[in-house]
Structures are given as structure tokens and as C-alpha cells.
Amino acid sequence: MVNRSDVHYFGAGPAPLPTAVLEKASQVLLNYKEKGVGLCEISHRSPEANEILADTKQAITTLLDIPDDYEILFLQSGGTGEFSATVYNLVSIWVEKKRAKIAEEVGDDQAEVLKRLRQVVAEELKLDYLVTGSWSLKASQEATRLIGAKHVNVALDARKANDGKFGVISAEDQWSLTPRASGGGPAFVYFCDNETVDGVEFPAFPKSLEGDDAPLVCADMSSNFISRKVDVRKYAVIFGGAQKNVGNTGIAIVILRKSLLPPSSKGASPDLLRELNLPVGPIVLDYPTIAKNNSLYNTLPIFDVWIAGQVMAGLVDAYGAKRIGGQEEISNEKSRLIYDTLDKYSNVYRVVPDKTVRSRMNICFRVHGGDADKEKAFLAGAEKKGLLGLKGHRSVGGIRASNYNAVSLEGAKLLVAYMEDFAKSA
């Protein structure tokens, strides 16, 4: 029998979890707080469930230093569901702001308001997408499916600068963002901070999205969540599926400006959206509804929230005043060790993305230029060493070492030692 301590798992998601959290989970699944029932059996509306929600919110707030004017939501849609949720919620807010402005100008003439609003939507509604990998591409495709191609502006398609493949992020002066002059601009700008499949990570927040007239920014941080410092104030919406770096499969975490919620802001009515041929989102993806009900509008999987809370509380305890900066140091060190080895043996290994945008979380490379037999040999040898989950995504192949928080420094060093041995014997 293979023991958990015998292996180091580099899978991209579902990803490894801290052993201590899983050991505690095995206990609370049977008997939570000596109540005689397991954590999966308690009511999501019980005091215990509300306590878990509060503790998990506090842990993430402490780690990322989330300001008081932000709300934290838990949804069951995963990161993919948020591709849709961002469109539903933020387009609705954009439309309502435009309607209110027109109504100020024309008064109570509802027919005229609707006429002008139709024109504004047709001519001005744009969603900007920075497509740097497979997941941001899927997000842009979902937006196109929901509201139509004419409203979706792919301001950056990274493949155009890299022979049709992902692996670079073009300079910002080459992006075609929707102009923000004279009160215009997109309903939001969307980017994926770390592309799990393609191993591309934004090295920093884009400068072109900063400033007093900055648009609403939505960022998918599924696979680099709680791995480095984040200036939350620069974002309108941050979301991530838990299963890559925070917990197990089942929830998405959303960090949202409260100014996008009632009473500060509201979206267009469903009737108005239908009049404008724009989609009305399902209630389970409606941010105001989820926020109003403390993420408990429908039955939330409290066990999944508990796991995420335990993972993040462990980081709070481990790093203290450093907060997420402590984990960032470890993440950077692990990725440095692996990339240094790949570069050292460049005759054997080739890192897929450009050096300027290499992901610290998902390290994608090829062996002997992508030789199928050599890569199979690499994976087989790694498995014999207890180094698992290294096969690249099915859409791109190759090797992928996902360097998530639960991968220990020891595990990274063992992978490096194996890579050294393989390169020398190849």
C-alpha cells in the first residue's frame, strides 16, 4: 500500500490539500464539535454553519488585507460559473446606470428613455477581455454566447504575438482597450491572473487599468489565489474556484466591491433587460441576492467552506504578521528552484511560456522538444519516485508541475533532484 507520505502530488486541480486539514476533516465528517452528527449533515442555516462562514471570511480577510468596503461571497458555480456571473451582474449594473442618466435628461417619457437606451446599448456596450490562455479564452467565449460578439472586445489575444499559441503577454501599448474618454468605456475589463493550462501569469497588475477613470476589473485568480499579495482595491471583482489552491471542489469565492451592491448600486430590472434583448441571469448567480443572504440563499456546501477556511486559517497561523507575504516567499522559492533546473538543462527541457510571464503556480515544459516517448519516460520515472500529477493538460500535452501552496518545499526539491537525474541520463 502506498501511504500519503510516500508521494508528492503536483496535479493542477483538484489539487493537493494540507494533510493536517484532511486529518481533521475525517474527524468532523463523523462528529462535528461532539454533536453526534457530521459536518456534512448539519443545516446550512445553523449557528455552526454561520460560524464557519464568519471564520472563513475572517481568514481570507486577514490573509489578503481585504478592506471593509468589500464583500466576500461563496457560490457553487465554480470558476466557470463566474464567467457567466460577471457578465450577468456587471452588464445589468452598466445598463441601469445608462438608463438613469437618460431618464435625468428626458424625464418621465419612458418610450423615449427606452429608445435612447436601445441605441446606447447597441453602440456603446462593450466588455473587454484580455485573452492570455485557455481559461480567459473560454470566459470571452461565454460572454459572446450570452450577449453577442458585437459587445465583446478581445483587447488582447496573446496568440497573435506567438505563432498562434499562448505563452506571452504583449506590451500594454499593443492592447486595444475600449476608450474611456468622456464618461465612456467598457462595462468591465476581464483577465485571468494565472492561466492553469498554459502556465502564464501576469507579473503585476496592468498599469493601463489603473487611474481615477479605471474601468471595473474582474480577475479570475482560481489557480494563484492566496499565493501572493494582492491590492484588492484595484479590482471590482476577484473570484476563484477553490479546488486549485484553497480547498476541494465545490465552491467559488468572490471578493466584490460593496459599491456594486444595493443600496449603493442596482442592476436593471429583468423586464428591461428582456426589452433590450440582454440575458437575465439565474438567481443563484445574482450577487445582490447572494450577499443579502450571507451566501445562504440556497443550500451551501458548508463542508467545502470549512475546508477552505481551515486551509486559510493555517496560513494565518503559519505566517502571522507577514500574512500572505509569507506564503508568497515560499511559492517564489519553490518555483525558482524548478525553473532554475529547467534552464540549467535547456538541452533537455524547454519551458513553454516566455520568461517574462512564467507562472509560479503552473510550470509547463516539454522534454526533448516534446518527444512523446521521452515525455512518457519522464512521467513514468517520476511516478516511481512518488512524484505524481505531472502530465500536462490534455489540450496542450507536455509536462506541468502545479506548484500550489500544499506542495511542500521538500516536494519541490525532490522534483528538482529527479529532473537533474533524468537530464543527466537522457
DSSP 8-state class, residue 391: B
Same domain, 270 and 377: no
Same domain, 341 and 293: no
Residue type, 261: L
CATH code of the domain covering residue 142? 3.40.640.10
pLDDT of 57 above 80 = yes
Same domain, 280 and 233: yes
Same domain, 289 and 350: no
Q: Which of 304, 334, 366 is the last residue of a domain?
A: 304
CATH code of the domain covering residue 392? 3.90.1150.10
Contacts of 38 (CB under 8 A, 6+ apart): 28, 29, 30, 31, 32
Question: Coil, strand, or helix at residue 296?
Answer: coil
Same domain, 64 and 195: yes
The cell for 25 is 476533516
The tens digit of pLDDT for each residue in 335-378 reads 999 999 999 999 999 999 999 999 999 999 999 999 999 999 99
Same domain, 287 and 371: no
Q: Which of 272, 304, 336 is the last residue of a domain?
A: 304
Q: Sorting pLDDT into bands at 50, 70 and 90, what band is 117?
A: very high
- pTM comes to 0.97
The tens digit of pLDDT for each residue in 23-38 reads 999 999 999 999 999 9
253, 243 contact by CB (below 8 A): no
Mean pLDDT computed over every residue of the chain: 96
Percent of the chain with pLDDT over 90: 96
Q: In this predicted structure, what is the pLDDT of residue 221?
A: 97
The mean pLDDT of 173-202, rounded to a whole number, is 94
Same domain, 107 and 254: yes
Same domain, 140 and 110: yes
Distance CA 403, CA 421 (A): 20
pLDDT of 197 above 90 = yes
Question: Coil, strand, or helix at residue 116?
Answer: helix
Residue 196 placed within a domain: yes
Residue 41 placed within a domain: no
Q: Which H or E element spans position 153?
A: strand 152-157
The mean pLDDT of 171-199, rounded to a whole number, is 94
Residue 144 placed within a domain: yes
Same domain, 241 and 186: yes
Q: Sorting pLDDT into bands at 50, 70 and 90, what band is 426?
A: confident
Same domain, 222 and 348: no
Q: In this predicted structure, what is the pLDDT of residue 229?
A: 97
The tens digit of pLDDT for each residue in 161-177 reads 999 999 999 999 999 99
Same domain, 403 and 335: yes
Distance CA 177, CA 188 (A): 10
Residue 210 placed within a domain: yes
Q: Which of 304, 334, 352 is the last residue of a domain?
A: 304
What radius of gyration, in Å, describes the C-alpha atoms of the chain?
Answer: 23
Same domain, 338 and 287: no
- Using CA atoms, how far residue 42 sits from 76, 292, 371, in Å, is 18, 22, 52
Q: Sorting pLDDT into bands at 50, 70 and 90, what band is 297?
A: very high
Domain count within the chain: 2
Q: Which residue segment(s) compose the domain that 359 sits in? A: 324-425
Q: In this predicted structure, what is the pLDDT of residue 61?
A: 98
